[in-house]
Amino acid sequence: MNEQLKVLSGSAHPELARLICQNLGTQLCDATLTTFPDGETFVQIKENIRGGDIYIVQPTCPPTNQNLMELLIMVDAVRRASAHRITAVLPFFGYARQDRKDRPRVPITAKLVANLLVASGVHRVLTVDLHAGQIQGFFDIPVDHLYAAPVLMKAIRERGIEDLVVVSPDVGGIKMTHAYAKALNAPMAIVAKNRVSAEEVEALNVIGDVAGRNVLLVDDLTETAGTLTAAADLLRKHGARNIYAGVSHAVLGEKGKTRIADSPIIELFATNSVPQAVGDKVTSLDISGLLAQAIIRIHNNESVTSLFDI
């Protein structure tokens, strides 16, 4: 056994951190996180972590900037407490969609966040279903990139859905859709869309046969649920029967929850990578076991490769 394993939680998703600790058979490290009246974050680690192997669980979900800054401050506190190794456990990596310059004079914020994490003292990152896999290359430290697909597909198989077609709600999700279709031994289809604004999406056409078939929409992320619900409406018009959806990260606000509730979607499967994955028709699936397996393997310097498999 290496240095003592310790798990800390920020305020973004303490319930997930507790579930990870249950899977590991350990307790959360005692720490104080408070906010001063002027909005500044204060962190104090209440246990001796000198020489420890520290894992900080903090998805950078809304409020994104607050949770990101809190993570950086926690990392600094742990580094100054002489931890041997610091792993940032980011079940959801915020700013992942700002991964390239798609317009003039815009930032590549995903790279900036990677730089901030490295500069703060993070030695490695553990994350789940990055919006773009190449973001791993933004880090100059090791990144263990897990997939939620096995957890999602297990729940889908348990439903015993017959005559299933796996559908990508946009062209960018073809690779993920193909992986699901292959694993579920089902054909696939694609919805062509046009993004009107950050919250409004127009579904244009369906490529593939969905008439009279049960449908599973798959995506990595939904927030306002515009893409999913527009695709579901179009699929229903093309004769789809029961429509299900599965996403890795359901960062749902009130608009997203309302859209899902009012849509033809019967059930939305989502992991508990963020606390926002709740609502009418939303089934939250626990990924704490997957994250705990990765943590124990990293701690013991064992291969994590098998956990990447879909």
Active site (catalytic) residues: 193
- Residue carrying structure tokens 């291969």: 303
DSSP state string for the chain: --SPEEEEE-SS-HHHHHHHHHHHT--BPPEEEEE-TTS-EEEEE-S--TT-EEEEE----SSHHHHHHHHHHHHHHHHHTT-SEEEEEESS-TTTT--S--STT---HHHHHHHHHHHHT--EEEEE--SSGGGGGG-SS-EEEE-SHHHHHHHHHHTT--SEEEEESSGGGHHHHHHHHHHHT--EEEEEEEE-SSS-EEEEEEES--TTSEEEEEEEEESS-HHHHHHHHHHHHTT--SEEEEEEEE---HHHHHHHHHSSEEEEEEETTSTT--STTEEEE--HHHHHHHHHHHHTT---GGGG--
Specify which residues 215 forms β-bridges with.
165, 243
Write out the two tokens for 88: 């940032």
Give the C-alpha separation, 68 to 34, whole Å.
15
Write out the two tokens for 214: 């049960």
